Amino acid sequence: MTTTSQVNPNVSDATARAAAQAAAKNQPVTFGKALNTALADALTAEKSVVIFGEDVGTLGGVFRITDGLTARFGNERCFDTPLAESGIVGMAVGMAMNGMRPVIEMQFDAFAYPAFEQINSHVAKMRNRTQGRLPLPMVIRIPYAGGVGGVEHHCDSSEAYYSHTPGLKVFTPSTVADAYLMLREAIDSEDPVIFFEPKKLYWSKEQVDLEALAAEYEARKAAKTEGVARIARAGKDATLITYGPSVSVAMEAAKLAAEEGISLEVVDIRTIVPFDDETVSASVRKTGRAIVVAEAQGFASVASEIVARVQERCFHSLAAPVLRVTGFDIPFPAPTLEKYNLPSAERILDTLDQLQWEA
């Protein structure tokens, strides 16, 4: 799943170099390990970084993303809190007000809802309310989305709520290299970042040299990649615009389409906020057709926003309406039924057929 980028030199350099070095060293790394390493490297690089949440200490988190951090950095740098999400976020706000860089974990997407008031009314607005005097550099990590056979309340794609809130940045990596790089960038950001981790990717592996990636990151620290989308696959007939857990699905669809002689470009948004209109528009202007693929329910969603932006900017280049493949507007289904709800390569290809191709 290594990729090339034609857009951002930072992204393309990093991923290309990582790919090359990994090939040389041939060490598969999981998405989860990349996140874990990013946290450890951030704790080492900056002493104001503190990590806390539910079960993140001794246990290392229910997904083991904070595994070993308490043992290595001590209970003051990575610790368990009482079971209260609003409390976790609210305390992080105060710590960020007072010189710290909290990186906190919400155990699952739906369990971040108790913290919604803190996130909306304070995390997002403190900088503005104080005319920039109280920035809140903090990261809220949220494992999200389905595809793992999770039960009720464990599979929500809740990115729209946060993307709709001015003052929050919203990141969601889809590759192992981005898991590392984007988490480091989020932690170094002066703005609060909601960091969405597609939980189905935690165990996915790629050939990535994490040490090289770390060196790469330190070297280019100031040059941000936020707001820069990634061309995950170059193509010319239509564009699939997607992010997070749906990137791999879109890649699969592109592969199948190629077998039928259709060349699909796949754009990985990476950061929903800030949004990279330029890369997305350039791709759609080139191909003239677009489908937005996202796992979240489609009504009033991030996918809807992307469709609107594309038609505002690319209307005269479009040969067909911009369509969407999203989750249905239903509560996320039970494990036995989730496959009917999740966007699939087949559903993407069916939708592709509707893009008014000339006979």
234-263 residues in contact with another protein (CB under 8 A) are none
Task: Decide: helix, strand or coil at residue 66.
Answer: coil
β 264-268/230-233 pair status: antiparallel
8 A C-beta contact, residue 320 and residue 356: yes
Binding of another protein by 190 (CB under 8 A): yes
| Closer residue to another protein in complex, CB, 163/207 | 163
Binding of another protein by 99 (CB under 8 A): yes
N-term to C-term CA, the chain: 34
Angle at 343 between CA 146 and CA 326, to 5 degrees: 95
Binding of another protein by 44 (CB under 8 A): no
Among 153, 154, 164, 316, the one annotated catalytic: 154
Binding of another protein by 274 (CB under 8 A): yes
Tell me how many residues contact another protein (CB under 8 A).
Answer: 49
* Gap between the Cα atoms of 345 and 203, Å rounded: 21
User: Shortest distance, CB of residue 54 to another protein, whole angstroms?
Assistant: 13
User: Shortest distance, CB of residue 141 to another protein, whole angstroms?
Assistant: 17
Q: What share of the chain is helix, strand, coil (3-state, %, to 5)?
A: 45, 20, 40
User: Shortest distance, CB of residue 279 to another protein, whole angstroms?
Assistant: 11
8 A C-beta contact, residue 70 and residue 57: yes
From 243-251, 272-280, 315-323, 329-337, span contacting another protein (CB under 8 A): 272-280
Binding of another protein by 288 (CB under 8 A): no
- The helix or strand, by DSSP H or E, that contains position 230, with its residue range, turns out to be strand 230-233
User: Shortest distance, CB of residue 199 to another protein, whole angstroms?
Assistant: 26
User: Shortest distance, CB of residue 312 to another protein, whole angstroms?
Assistant: 11
| Closer residue to another protein in complex, CB, 92/345 | 92
* Gap between the Cα atoms of 196 and 173, Å rounded: 8
Residue among 159, 63, 66, 53 at smallest CA distance from 105: 53
46-85 residues in contact with another protein (CB under 8 A) are 50, 75-76, 79, 81-82, 84
- The helix or strand, by DSSP H or E, that contains position 95, with its residue range, turns out to be helix 85-97
8 A C-beta contact, residue 53 and residue 105: yes
106-145 residues in contact with another protein (CB under 8 A) are 114, 117-118, 121-122, 126-135
Among this protein's residues, is 154 annotated catalytic?
yes
Angle at 215 between CA 244 and CA 277, to 5 degrees: 35
Q: Which residues bind another protein (CB under 8 A)?
A: 50, 75-76, 79, 81-82, 84, 86-87, 89-100, 102, 114, 117-118, 121-122, 126-135, 166-167, 169, 189-191, 227, 273-275, 277-278
Active site members? 154
